Amino acid sequence: MLDVNDRISIPLRELEFEFSRSGGPGGQNVNKTNTRASLRWNVTATHSLPHSVKERFRKKYNRRISQKGDFVLHSQRFRDQGKNVADCLSRLREMILSVSVSPKKRVPTRPTRASKERRLGTKKRKADQKRLRRSPEKDEFS
């Protein structure tokens, strides 16, 4: 059981792991051990996530979700298969936690009088500065 928080937990039977050869340094041993862990989880069919969390998860991580609805995550940070599985699980947990809290709805506000005056004052100063950089016109010579 992958416990995300006190409300969300995912049974491990929903998660599938595949192992393959890892890239990177490791000498001759890297060519004969399958230490890279690939986690596959069907997000669309799961009943472990509330609907709102599932939708936010699918929206945020849609690039990692296949056409069939499988979420795919790889880990090859470690030379040990068990550590890479644990890394996949902790990363999945963090991803779900990041979408578990619904975003606060923005309350539209009006700009204050002082902020309007600051904005207009800044625009006026920039315009004056640019006007002074211009070459003088013919009227100013006479």
DSSP secondary structure letter of residue 51? H
DSSP secondary structure letter of residue 13? G
* Cβ neighbours, 10 Å, residue 118: 12
> Strand, coil or helix: what is 42?
strand
pLDDT of residue 142: 55
What H or E segment, with its residue span, contains residue 132?
helix 113-133
What is the number of alpha carbons within 13 Å of residue 106 lying toward its C-beta? 3
The pTM for the full model equals 0.69
- Report, as ranges of residue numbers, the positions in the chain whose pLDDT lies below 70: 139-142
Q: Both tokens of residue 40?
A: 């596959």
Q: Both tokens of residue 33?
A: 């051990």
Domains and CATH numbers, the chain: 2-100 (3.30.160.20)
pLDDT of residue 118: 97
> Strand, coil or helix: what is 16?
strand
DSSP secondary structure letter of residue 65? B
